[in-house]
Each structure stands twice: as C-alpha cells, then as structure tokens.
Amino acid sequence: MTVPDFDIGPHLERHKKKGPPKYPPLSEVLKIVPKIHGHVCTASYLGARMALLAVKHLDLKRKKDLAAAVEILTCAADGIASATTCSFGSGRLVFLDHGKFSCIFCNWMTGKAVRVSLVPEIDKEHIEFGTRLRDFYVKLKERSMEEAEAAREELDTHERGLIEKWHKMSDDDLFIIKEVEVNPEDLKYPLDQQYIPEPVKCANCGELTEKLKTLKINGDRLCKPCAGEFKLREI
C-alpha cells in the first residue's frame, strides 16, 4: 500500500514568516464555505463576516494564535472555520452553550479578545427565518412532494434575499464588537483531549479509554456507552 503524498511544509516554514497573517477576502471565503458546509446559508455567511471582522482587531502574528468560541450550536461555526482555519479538530474552535448568536475571538499569545454579536434588528431577521425553516421541517411529512418543493423554494428565496441584503451592509450595520476579558484557556481544548494520556481498559468492551472519562460502577471502570451514559448498541 503506497502512502499518498502530503505537504508538511507549512509546519516547517511557519517560524520563518514575518508580518501579520493574511486572511482571504470575503469573496474567497464564500467559495470555501460550501466545501465545508455544503452551501452558503444565513448563519454560515454571518459567521464568516464575524470572523473577518474580529481578526482585524486582535494584532495576530500567526493564524494558529487565534481561538474562536461560538456561543450557539449553529452553521456559523463552519463560516468561522472557513474564514480563519480554526476548527474543532485543531482545538481552536470551541462550543459554548450560551444560546446566543455570538462568538468570542481571542489571541492566545496576548490574551486580547473581542466578542462579536448581531445587531438586534439582524438577530431578529435571522431568528424569524430560522422559525420559518423549523416550521418547514416540522410540517414536511404532512405535505405532498409538490407542496414541499414550493415551500422550500420560498425559503430559499427568503434566505438568498437576506444574504444579498446583508452583503450590501457594513460591518457596523450588522455586528456589535466589544473588547472583552476572558481566560484564553477557556477557549481551547486541552491537549489531553487530543490523545489518551491515562488509558484504562473498559471492563465491559475492553476498549482503551481515558480514565477521567470512565465511570466506576461496582468496582469496575466502564466507558460511558457501556455505563449507559450514551446509548450505543452493536448490531
């Protein structure tokens, strides 16, 4: 089996580069979003805009010094990832379950951080569209194919209209950006989540599991699925 070629150059060269990192313009980011997210939607569009605004305020020397923490589980995370290369896999994109369409961006090296949220009018527009989208899926089974296609087309037209409207607006008209104080350690995943530092065998399935993630039941260490904390069954 032949190992495919891959490039490790950026890792070797990163210390030689000088000057602030260059982020792609919005036009290029919007070409990246579909490759990650499948399409450009309202939330991924806003996420991309939020990220490109935030990086202008953080005095970054390297892209890897940027951390982003989204405050709602939404498509915005993919827009942010497309614009910044922050990702869950890199440990530089984390989810804060605050239920707000906002994101905190932080320079790990300096601790400088900004929080970007939506202007209330834009937030309301986005929520109204989200409500229509939710209702579409709730009522989907009740509709004929023709009715569903017509409703979906109306939604797509609504969504395109919102994005086109926002695209003509300035950052100041879309977002509220404030400098904030935050612990940078709260905005990244710890190294021990990237590998298994203290492995133990699950007494039931036998798989190696991080000890801190197991539960002790009747004297045995069990992984969360085997302990019933997560429903998973082999078939």
Q: What is the pLDDT of residues 111-147, one digit of tens each?
A: 999 999 999 999 999 999 999 888 888 888 888 888 8
Angle at 57 between CA 51 and CA 58, to 5 degrees: 90
Domains 19-122+154-188 and 196-235 share a fold: no
**Per-domain residue ranges of the chain:** 19-122+154-188, 196-235
Which residues are paired to 68 by β-bridges? Answer: 93, 105
pLDDT of 61: 93
Q: Is the distance from CB of 21 to CB of 85 less than 8 angstroms?
A: no
Closest to 71 (Cα-Cα) out of 90, 30, 43, 45: 43
Residue 224: pLDDT over 60: yes
pLDDT of 191: 60
Please state which architecture CATH assigns to domain 19-122+154-188: 2-Layer Sandwich (3.30)
Strand, coil or helix: what is 220? Answer: strand
**163-212 residue pLDDT tens:** 999 999 999 999 999 999 998 888 877 665 667 888 999 999 999 998 98
pLDDT of 174: 97
Q: 196-235 — its CATH code?
A: 3.30.60.20
